[in-house]
Chains A and B, each alone.
Chain A
Amino acid sequence: MGNNIIQRIILLPIEPQTKGAADMVFNTGAALLDAIVLAVVTREQDGAYGYKITQDVRTVIELSESTLYPVLRRLQKDQCLNVYDKEYAGRNRRYYIITEKGQSQLNLYKIEWQKYSEKINCIFTGENISKGEHS
């Protein structure tokens, strides 16, 4: 039983569902994009670089390669991300790493996403839509 709970509280990182997101039916809002970017950056312990972040985000949602720079820059200004340069292949590569504030923001997004997706799932599966309307 103990094991069961542990299984449940290990939050799995977002795994790419498909290689290269297929045509998207649903649009991604700004908040969701922030959340995905923060989650992707968190997956690398020492932070991730722009190209990698873009490719990772593109495995789950469709977006143009130039969309992410303004998002990363804004998250950096909001102190959700820090940047630092690290030597790689004879040059300095810029890495983005999550801050404590970014981490709490991501936590909040995760909670909200869970609530949101559960509600949508309930509507789709027809369970417990509204307690007052059972006949």
Chain B
Amino acid sequence: MNRNDFMMQLEKLLSDIPQNEREEALKYYNDYFNDAGAENEQEVISSLGTPEQVAEKIKEGLPNAKPNVEFNKQEPKDDAPNTQNNLNNAAQPEYKIPVMPPKKKLPAWAIILIVVGSLFVAGILFSIVGVMHFATKTIDAKKHQNISKAYTDDGSDTGGSSLSGSTLSYQYDASKIQKLDVQFGAGAFAVREKETDDGNIDVIISGYGDVTCKNDDNEGTLYLKAFENIKLINLNGGNDNVTEILIPRDYKFNEADFELGACAASLTGINATEMECDIGAGELIMNNMVIDGLDLDVGAGKYSAYNMQVKDLDIDVGMGEADLAVPSPGN
């Protein structure tokens, strides 16, 4: 069998699945043969298995796969008493990763305490939410229009706004910005690299609260100050309360300062000479960062970092938790 036979049979066998799935799979295997090279054609065919086997695997992966298919099923443990002799079965790490880390079981008194405590806290929160919601409504009533603008920055725009469930997006020329200065109260905050690079820094803010975003051309600083960007306030649905700064790939800042309150923040792909980061009661994840001097202050928060290249690190942890990925000893 050669490549063409293989592909033709596979296409025939996939004739009963949706067209987009079929095209996707055929594209994959076509690429696969191309990348393996003509000299490895036979080797690839024998390693892939028969077109029937390949087609079956593709169909198993589809959402409405037939129930007779053994997908993601544990190894049959038919000879359970002999598992001692069967290292594969005995030691198989059938390891399911939860989306959230598992909680330890608590004694009954603690549960009661938590329930009573939560009711109490919920009461207070509801009052606060009520007041804030009322305040938001008042602002809405005064303004009577939804703020949803796209600013193209020329240095003069101050961009201060009171958000009420809308989305604001700002765009700044990255070549004019050397410094990031972020103060973020509560909510979800992320910095990440753009998928397509257009030489701009984008700031996208959605939700409720007071937000200021401005660029001072003389200093080359991009300020973002956001408070009360809280999900709880978002009672009417609408946009997720996420504030994002999208930076160009491999863009290097002179300085990046973050003051983060009770927010969940994810900082990815930041490249800076100096970086200062204070995190209060929130959670901060850093990933793929290249920083010459990093000054970290973790309060009651939780901090984790991966793929970091840092020349000089100064870290203070209060009541918080810092989880730095540690490679095996000897590195």
Interface residues of A (CB under 8 A from B): 2, 5-12, 25-27, 29-32, 35, 45, 49-52, 54, 64-67, 69-74, 77, 82, 89, 91, 93-94, 97, 100, 103-104, 107-112, 114, 116
Residues of A within 8 A of B95 (CB): 29, 31-32, 116
Q: How far is the CB of A97 from chain B (nearest CB, A)?
A: 8
Is A6 touching B325 in the complex (CB atoms < 8 A)? no
Q: How far is the CA of A9 from the CA of B34 in the complex (A)?
A: 39
Is A65 touching B44 in the complex (CB atoms < 8 A)? yes
Is B53 touching A66 in the complex (CB atoms < 8 A)? yes
Binds A, one of B109-117, B141-149, B172-180, B302-310: B302-310
* In the complex, per-residue mask of B19-59: 1 if CB is within 8 Å of any chain A CB, else 0: 00000110111011011100000001001110001100110
**6 A-B contacts, Cβ less than 8 Å apart?**
A5-B315, A11-B308, A69-B29, A73-B25, A73-B58, A77-B63
Residues of B within 8 A of A64 (CB): 47-49
Q: Tell me whether A11 and B61 are in contact in the complex, defined as CB-CB below 8 angstroms, given that A30-B72, A104-B266, A108-B97 are known contacts.
A: no
Q: How far is the CA of A11 from the CA of B288 in the complex (A)?
A: 10
Q: Tell me whether A70 and B93 are in contact in the complex, defined as CB-CB below 8 angstroms, given that A9-B313, A107-B304 are known contacts.
A: no
* In the complex, per-residue mask of B284-325: 1 if CB is within 8 Å of any chain A CB, else 0: 010100000000000000001111111111110000000111
> Does B80 count as interface, using CB distance less than 8 angstroms?
no
Q: How far is the CA of A114 from the CA of B313 in the complex (A)?
A: 23
Q: How far is the CB of B20 from chain A (nearest CB, A)?
A: 11
How many B residues touch the partner, as a band?
35 or more
Complex: chain A residue closest to B312, CB-CB: A2
Q: How far is the CA of A42 from the CA of B329 in the complex (A)?
A: 23
* Smallest CB-CB A-B distances: 3 pairs: A70-B61, A51-B35, A11-B325
Q: How far is the CA of A5 from the CA of B314 in the complex (A)?
A: 10
Most A CB contacts (10 A, CB to CB) among B32, B34, B101, B311 go to B32
Q: How far is the CB of A96 from chain B (nearest CB, A)?
A: 10
Q: Tell me whether A94 and B93 are in contact in the complex, defined as CB-CB below 8 angstroms, given that A8-B326, A111-B323 are known contacts.
A: no
Is A51 touching B325 in the complex (CB atoms < 8 A)? no
Is A93 touching B93 in the complex (CB atoms < 8 A)? no
Q: How far is the CA of A2 from the CA of B190 in the complex (A)?
A: 27
**Contacting residue for A100 out of B31, B192, B327, CB 8 A:** B192
Most A CB contacts (10 A, CB to CB) among B28, B36, B94, B285 go to B28
Complex: chain B residue closest to A72, CB-CB: B28
**Contacting residue for A94 out of B27, B36, B99, B306, CB 8 A:** B27
Q: How far is the CA of A6 from the CA of B307 in the complex (A)?
A: 11
Residues of A within 8 A of B195 (CB): 82, 97
Is A69 touching B25 in the complex (CB atoms < 8 A)? yes
Supply 9 further A-B pairs (C-beta < 8 A) apart from A69-B29, A114-B326.
Answer: A7-B331, A11-B308, A25-B87, A26-B88, A51-B32, A64-B47, A74-B61, A100-B192, A109-B97
**Contacting residue for A73 out of B61, B190, B249, CB 8 A:** B61
Q: How far is the CB of B314 from chain A (nearest CB, A)?
A: 8
Residues of A within 8 A of B101 (CB): 111-112
Is A9 touching B287 in the complex (CB atoms < 8 A)? no
Q: Tell me whether A114 and B35 are in contact in the complex, defined as CB-CB below 8 angstroms, given that A10-B308, A67-B57 are known contacts.
A: no
Is B93 touching A29 in the complex (CB atoms < 8 A)? yes
Most A CB contacts (10 A, CB to CB) among B58, B249, B306 go to B306
Residues of B within 8 A of A25 (CB): 87-88, 91
Residues of B within 8 A of A27 (CB): 75, 88, 92-94
Is A11 touching B93 in the complex (CB atoms < 8 A)? no
> Does B60 count as interface, using CB distance less than 8 angstroms?
yes
Residues of B within 8 A of A109 (CB): 97
Is B28 touching A94 in the complex (CB atoms < 8 A)? yes
Q: How far is the CA of A31 from the CA of B25 in the complex (A)?
A: 22
Complex: chain B residue closest to A115, CB-CB: B101
Q: How far is the CA of A1 from the CA of B204 in the complex (A)?
A: 39
Q: How far is the CA of A108 from the CA of B92 in the complex (A)?
A: 21
Residues of A within 8 A of B53 (CB): 66
